Amino acid sequence: MDTFESTGVANKILIADDDPCVLRAVADRCTRMGFDVETAATGLQVLIKAGQHRPDILVIDVHMPEVDGLSVLTYLSDAAKRSLHVMVVTGNPGQEIAAACHGLDAVCIPKGPAFWNEFEARLIEICPHKAVAIRQSAMPPAEHQVKKLPRVLLVDDDASIKKMFFNRFEKLGVELLYAADATRGFWKARRDQPTVIVADFCMPNGDAEYLLTKLRHTPETKNIPVIVQSGRRLSAVVRQRLGQPICGQPGAARILRKSFDGRELFEALQRFCGFASNLEGESLYQ
């Protein structure tokens, strides 16, 4: 395929991955490069958005819910394929996947230490007029160069959970925020842009499903990962609803049972916030 001519208009890129961490990282980086970014969390959403938004570039994970990444490429119309540059990303590269990508006129990029170098090199080949912005994308904007602490927003009406949560996480290099119900949690998320939200399932003024819906319908909060906790066991139907995408954005990133051990919650937050683990032999809620 030919490279794009420099028109001064941001090229459209559709990024598809069911892992909210990967999706947000790649989307944020491509936005800094100057691309017009759309995201999808399932293969079916890719097919719908590819028809609606007509992207120039598609970045898609192999393993996707509903329709896998390689099948998506076979289902796209011939017209869409002719005008589309495709990058298939995978955590398990192999000869079979590489051969399938080659047969579909797609580039295969393994997830791993060399991902960003390969990803940027391919984008520069496609859009040479964006080369400077692509190379500079690893540098955050000037206003973000002073390192900020990750922000964790707890949304829970139980004062004892708030106290235990704050007592523990104040030591771990994160900024803690709090809201006592779903409505206030939504407005606080919109204003303060937390790194991740930890929400109780049952709350006043809307439950976790209500909060997720409000967040995903709002541009400022649509990509914020949400961890849902519950003091009682949730049914498979409820868990499925919480995990379903909303408006093309991921549902709950994790669904956990509240416990005094708190190991699962800590490990989930560690993934999103990147703080060091020093939990050995300790309880989260002590």
pLDDT at residue 145, rounded to an integer: 47
Residue 3 lies in a domain: no
Shared domain for 159 and 130, answered yes or no, is no
State residue 5's pLDDT score: 45
pLDDT recorded at residue 170: 72
Give residue-wise pLDDT tens across range 146-168. 556 788 999 998 888 888 888 77
- Whether residue 68 is found in the same domain as residue 130: yes
Same domain, 133 and 161: no
Determine the Cα–Cα distance for residues 31 and 38; give it in Å rounded to an integer.
Answer: 10
Instruction: Report yes or no on 2 lying in a domain.
Output: no
pLDDT at 228: 92
Do 116 and 190 have their domain in common? no
Residue 225 domain boundaries: 151-273
Identify whether residues 138 and 192 lie together within a single domain.
no
Q: For residues 45 and 7, what is the distance between their CA atoms, to the nearest angstrom?
A: 28
Q: Which CATH number fits the domain that encloses residue 157?
A: 3.40.50.2300
- 282: in domain: no
The answer to whether residue 224 sits within a structural domain is: yes
Which of 54-68, 75-89, 181-195 shows the lowest per-residue confidence on average (mean pLDDT)? 75-89
Identify which has the larger pLDDT, 143 or 51. 51
pLDDT at position 203 over 80: yes
Pick the range with the lowest mean pLDDT from 23-32, 187-196, 247-256, 265-274. 265-274
Q: Is residue 284 part of a domain?
A: no
Look at residues 142, 161, 185 and tell me which one is the last residue of a structural domain.
Answer: 142
| Three state DSSP letters for the chain | CCCCCCCCCCCEEEEECCCHHHHHHHHHHHHHHCCEEEEECCHHHHHHHHHHHCCCEEEEECCCCCCCHHHHHHHCCHHHHHCCEEEEEECCCCHHHHHHHHHCCCEEEECCCCHHHHHHHHHHHHCHHHHHHHHHCCCCCHHHCCCCCCEEEEECCCHHHHHHHHHHHCCCCCEEEEECCHHHHHHHHHHHCCCEEEEECCCCCCCHHHHHHHHHCCCCCCCCCEEEEECCCCCHHHHHHHHCCECCECCCCEEEECCCCCHHHHHHHHHHHCCCCCCCCCCCCC
Site of tokens 């790649």: 26
d(CA 54, CA 146): 37
Q: With bands split at pLDDT 50, 70 and 90, how would you rate the model's confidence at 9?
A: low
| Residue 173 belongs to some domain of the structure | yes
- pTM for this predicted structure: 0.55
Query: Are residues 16 and 118 located together in one domain of the fold?
Result: yes
Mean pLDDT (whole number) for 195-213? 89
**127 and 156 assigned to the same domain:** no
Q: Which of 142, 159, 181 is the endpoint of a domain?
A: 142
Q: Would the pLDDT of 43 be above 60?
A: yes
Domain count along the chain: 2
Q: How far apart are CA 272 and CA 58, in angstroms?
A: 25
Which class for 113: exposed (0-12), middle (13-18), buried (19 or more C-beta within 10 A)? exposed
- Same domain membership, residue 227 and residue 157: yes
Q: Are residues 127 and 224 in the same domain?
A: no
Q: Specify if 45 maps to a domain.
A: yes
The pLDDT, as a whole number, for residue 215 is 92
117 lies in the same domain as 195: no
283 occurs within a structural domain: no
Regarding whether 229 and 128 lie in a shared domain, the answer is no
* Same structural domain, 105 and 179: no
Looking at 118, 142, 166, which one is the last position of a domain?
142
